């Protein structure tokens, strides 16, 4: 488990493309647009002898002071290679994120996930996340 480096860009892009397909119904997106989503994120990579097998990106957000809200974090992306799922890689990435946020003095982390992504929902619940708001959508 380590911080991402410039050489990880192709792997990060592959993870982001996979996530984009499951989370955004495969709406078209350029490589640049996918990477730009993580411009302000801290990125962690899990790897084994074969190379990267998982990634997590987290961004610290600093709301305007007059909103009366403390800085908090948003988990922007989390993905594990399909062949390596269910082996604790995702849990270790989340633990690394928590250690990073604790050191940064951040007490809260939010994330957005498709309601249909049962695997991720089960995973996040196990990690202590609970549903606090619901996003609703209709076709216009
Ligand atoms: C969600 C994801 C990151 C989990 O990573 P992982 O390395 O497979 O997770 P772990 O092995 O650390 O699993 C920890 C726990 O989560 C739960 N979990 C993980 N996968 C699960 C599944 N398919 N069904 C039910 N529970 C699951 C289990 O409770 C598991 O604990 P256990 O092994 O003691 O049963 C991974 O499945 C993934 O990359 N999914 C596709 C991308 C994605 O949907 N990302 C989130 C979108 S925001």
* Residue found under tokens 């097998």: 53
pLDDT tens digits for range 2-34: 999 999 999 999 999 999 988 776 678 899 999
In three-state secondary structure terms, 2 is strand
For position 56, what pLDDT does the model report? Answer: 98
Quote the pLDDT of residue 65.
Answer: 73
Least confident of 96-100, 108-112, 113-117: 113-117
Give, using CA atoms, the residue closest to atom 1 of ligand 1: 120
Among 20, 119, 128, 135, the mutation site with the greatest number of ligand 1 atoms within 8 A of its Cβ is 119
Residue in this structure with the two tokens 């216009």, named with its chain if needed: 140
For residue range 28-84, list pLDDT tens digits in order: 889 999 999 999 999 999 999 999 999 999 999 987 777 667 899 999 999 999 999
Residue range 112-127: mean pLDDT, rounded: 95
- Identify the residues whose C-beta falls under 6 Å from ligand 1: 19, 22-23, 78-80, 85-91, 113, 117, 119-120, 122-123, 126
Q: How far is the CA of 140 from the centre of ligand 1 (A)?
A: 34
In the reported structure, the alpha carbon of residue 133 is separated from the centroid of ligand 1 by a whole-number distance in angstroms of 22
d(CA 62, CA 119): 30
| pLDDT > 70? residue 138 | yes
User: Taking the domains of the chain in order of start, what are their residue ranges?
Assistant: 2-126
What φ, ψ does residue 111 adopt, rounded to 5°?
Answer: -155, 160
Q: Which helix (H) or strand (E) holds 61?
A: strand 51-61
Atom in ligand 1 nearest the alpha carbon of residue 92: 12
Write down the architecture of domain 2-126 according to CATH. 3-Layer(aba) Sandwich (3.40)
> What tokens appear for 15 in the block?
């993870």
What confidence tier does 101 reach under pLDDT thresholds 50, 70, 90?
Answer: very high
């Amino acid at each position: 488990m380590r911080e991402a480096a410039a050489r990880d860009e192709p792997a990060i892009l592959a993870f982001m493309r996979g996530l984009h397909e499951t989370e955004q119904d495969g709406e078209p997106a350029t490589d640049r647009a996918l990477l730009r989503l993580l411009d302000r994120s801290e990125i962690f990579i899990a790897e084994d002898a074969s190379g990267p097998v998982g990634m997590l990106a987290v961004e610290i957000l600093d709301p305007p002071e007059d909103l009366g809200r403390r800085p908090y974090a948003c988990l922007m992306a989390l993905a594990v290679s399909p062949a390596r799922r269910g082996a604790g890689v995702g849990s270790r990435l989340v633990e690394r994120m928590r250690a990073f946020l604790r050191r940064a003095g951040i007490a809260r982390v939010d994330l957005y996930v498709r309601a249909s992504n049962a695997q991720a929902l089960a995973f996040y619940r196990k990690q202590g996340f609970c549903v606090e708001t619901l996003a609703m959508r209709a076709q216009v």
